[in-house]
Amino acid sequence: MGQPAVAIPEKIFFKIGEVCDIVEVQAHVLRYWETEFSMLSPQKNRSGQRSYRRRDVEIALRIKELLYEELYTTAGARKRLQSEMRETSRLKIVHSEPAKKETFIKEVKAPESIAEDLIEKDYEKEFDEIEGFGEIGLVELDEERREALTNLAAQLLELREMLKINKSEAAQRKY
């Protein structure tokens, strides 16, 4: 409660090292918390690597606050966190980084090949075939917006790949 709010980067998934840096604990501490606090449950990919969501990072920050600042025992912190999660759907100790004016997309480094393909591709003919699109027309993009859209496209492609992996893992478990 006495600690200032921690800014969590605007990302969908975080690796364990990134979460360790944000929460300021070591990886073995996070793994231990996963065994003690059922609400802290990152997804794991095929190789067993953890993918923490924003909610998991918020929970880890709250666990740290309960254990290290408010000096709860593990059992006490678990009970307190469970009751807080029943009361509210969102923890209140974390605020996202303030967005820059008119910047809605945070920069993410896209793989060069994907970024080049997206910039090079000519979508104008495809858009002309969409009914009603010709009335709107294409909007000229400045370099900053073009780069933001390219980065967004790269993130969407990465998410699609993650979904494919999860789908194939689920199919393998069935057989």
Tell me, rounded to whole angstroms, the distance of Cα 63 from its chain centroid: 19
Tell me the pLDDT of the chain (175 aa) as tens digits.
Answer: 445 577 888 888 899 999 999 999 999 999 999 999 999 999 988 888 999 999 999 999 999 999 999 999 999 999 999 988 888 755 455 445 554 544 445 555 555 555 455 444 554 555 455 555 455 455 566 788 778 888 888 888 888 888 877 777 777 766 6
Phi, psi of 44 (to 5 degrees): -125, 140
SS3 44: strand
Does the pTM surpass 0.75? The reply is no
Domains of the chain: 6-96 (1.10.1660.10), 112-174 (no CATH)
